[in-house]
Chains A and B, each alone.
Chain A
Amino acid sequence: QVQLEQSGAEVKKPGASVKVSCKASGYRFLSYAVDWVRQAPGQGLEWMGRINPDNGKTKYSQKFQGRVTFGSDTSATTTHLELRSLTSEDTAVYYCARFRLDVIGGSCFDYWGQGTLITVSS
């Protein structure tokens, strides 16, 4: 079955960087893009961007452009997110999600990781 397994929670100090990984299994890794979505405590969902593991192409939300980098390791079927210059406003649960785009129309995030809590605190 399709699974996205994320790395564990972390506590970081302001100004630091964090890397969150997302290991995919149960499907052909190169056939689907992976998006990153975050959720601040008690808030809604915020899209951060996408990586296509097939060609390494990325698309970032303008809000995070220059501060975030997505990568992928095809041999390990893992994608990762690196977020730099952390502030308290980056405290959130970070999710990876498989992006599905059907040829005949229809798009969605059909599978999600369990989420990784990143706490930024001095």
Chain B
Amino acid sequence: EIVLTQSPGTLSLSPGERATLSCTTSQSVSSSYLAWYQQKPGQAPRLLIYGASRRPTGIPDRFSVSGSGTDFTLTISRLEPEDFAVYYCQQYGGSPPVTFGGGTRVEIK
């Protein structure tokens, strides 16, 4: 099983600051098959970025990803009030074919 480890567990930042979230995989994963989701309390996860750098319609460009192999990073360039949430990375292609990271909570400092 490909294990995804997200760090930090919690990130305390102020609006306007830059957020850097890490996702480390136990085996090499193609960036094409790594996705990121945002989840707010009481809501379903929402797709943020997939396929290395593709953002669905409506996702602002302050969200970006980088990395390859086993180390991936989600960056939020300038935090907006609506960005405070939990973020999950997810991979496809191992066995089992889908695994999620444990999540990073971005909270208001």
A residues touching B (Cβ–Cβ < 8 Å)? 35, 37, 44-47, 50, 59, 61-62, 95, 97, 100-102, 105-115
Contacts and interface: CB of A to CB of B under 8 A. Distances in A.
A45 B33 contact: no
Contacts of B56: 110
A106 B51 contact: yes
B78 interface: no
Interface string B76-109: 0000000000001010110011111111000000
A110 B47 contact: yes
A62 B103 CA distance: 22
B50 interface: yes
B62 interface: no
B44 A47 contact: no
Nearest to B1: A62
A47 B99 contact: yes
Nearest to B6: A44
A95 B52 CA distance: 24
B8 interface: no
Contacts, number: 68
B34 to A, nearest CB: 9
Interface of B: 30, 32-33, 35, 37, 44-47, 50-52, 54, 56, 88, 90, 92-93, 96-103
B50 A107 contact: yes
B96 A61 contact: yes
Given A44-B88, A45-B45, A112-B46, A107 B32 contact: yes
Q: What are the 10 closest A-B residue pairs judged by CB atoms, nearest first?
A: A106-B51, A108-B50, A105-B32, A112-B44, A108-B35, A47-B98, A107-B92, A45-B100, A44-B102, A44-B103
A105 B54 CA distance: 11
A96 to B, nearest CB: 10
A109 B51 contact: no
A107 B51 contact: yes
12 contacts: A44-B100, A47-B96, A47-B99, A47-B100, A102-B51, A105-B30, A106-B51, A106-B54, A107-B51, A107-B92, A108-B51, A115-B44
